[in-house]
Amino acid sequence: MSKRPTATAKLKEEDKALNDLIIDAIQDIKGKKIVKLDLRSIDDAPADFFIICQGDSTVQIKAISLNIEKRVRAEMGVKNIHIEGMLGAKWVLVDFFNTVVHIFYPETREYYDLEDLWSDALTTEYPDV
């Protein structure tokens, strides 16, 4: 007799599918230096995952965030709970509750250095395409 997946296992599958889709959506628009931080083992982390990337221009940063929003809604039926930073587009944040996406302008990313701030997280880097 096979076991049914637990709610926790199902949540992990949904998180993985969401994260994979977000990364693919970033790569669609040629986002660069994509990093996923797994924050689940860090007490008081604001989310389970951060996905961080950068674009070469504010136009590209906006396009990446809109593509993430569009594809996640169309392919998974999930709507982000919050988006901010679209006006200046030097740092756009797209919040899916368990996963928060940070899309940076290169100098802004360097200044805030989230990877160093959350250096205890398990880090996965993705190739530029």
- Higher model confidence: residue 86 or residue 24? 24
Q: 59-98: per-residue pLDDT in tens?
A: 999 999 999 999 999 999 999 889 999 899 999 999 999 9
Could you write out the DSSP letters of every residue in 20-55?
A: HHHHHHHHHTT-EEEEEEE-TTSTT-SSSEEEEEE-
What is the model's pTM? 0.90
**pLDDT band, very low/low/confident/very high, at 3 (cuts 50, 70, 90):** very low
Domain ranges of the chain: 30-124
Whether the per-residue pLDDT at 57 is higher than 70: the answer is: yes
pLDDT at 106 over 50: yes
The set of residues, in sequence order, having a beta carbon less than 8 Å from that of 6 and lying 6+ positions away, is: none
Task: Give the pLDDT confidence score for residue 36 in this predicted structure.
Answer: 97
Find out if CATH 3.30.460.10 is the number for domain 30-124: yes
pLDDT beyond 90 at 8: no
